[in-house]
Amino acid sequence: MSNADINDTWLVGFSAEISAVEMATNMLIQAGSLAMAEAAALYMGRTWWQTCLEEYEYRWLYPGGVVWFNSIILLDDVENSILRGLKFLDAWTVTGSTDAPVLRDEWGNDWRDITR
């Protein structure tokens, strides 16, 4: 799939709990399908920190805390434009396959390199 095939943007939500403090994290994922966007979100949760101790569907336990994938919403063009224009959410483009998604930010940085 080339970047030309990536037409849709999803607002994706995670919750992370660290030292009994829960916080919401949202980001934009640009992908060619809901299946690719969800695969990317699951990959992000699975690789949030370096050592995942336990994985259960949409929840991952790490030595430093817990991460949950809790929402995915398809944005229309206006919503996408507004959220991108505000520039407070990280935006990721997903390529590859649902079995092996590759996530890069707008500068070409790989998810695996900047989250560790």
Contact 49, 66 (CB under 8 A): no
Average pLDDT estimate for 90-115 = 93
Full 3-state SS string of 18-32: ECCEEEEEEEEEEEC
CA nearest neighbour of 8 among 79, 66, 70, 57:
79
Q: Flag whether pLDDT at 3 surpasses 80.
A: no
Its sign, for the CA torsion 15, 26, 59, 46, is: negative
Structure tokens at 48: 């949030």
Average pLDDT estimate for 52-64 = 94
3-state class of 58 per DSSP? Answer: coil
Contact 59, 67 (CB under 8 A): yes
Q: Flag whether pLDDT at 59 surpasses 90.
A: yes
Per-residue model confidence (pLDDT) at position 11: 98
Q: Flag whether pLDDT at 67 surpasses 70.
A: yes
Residues near 73 by beta carbon (within 8 Å), at least 6 away in sequence: 10, 11, 12
User: pTM for this structure?
Assistant: 0.88
CA nearest neighbour of 43 among 7, 97, 108, 3:
97
Q: Flag whether pLDDT at 116 surpasses 90.
A: no
Q: Flag whether pLDDT at 70 surpasses 60.
A: yes
> What are the pLDDT digits (tens) for 40-50?
999 999 999 88
Domain boundaries, the chain: 3-114
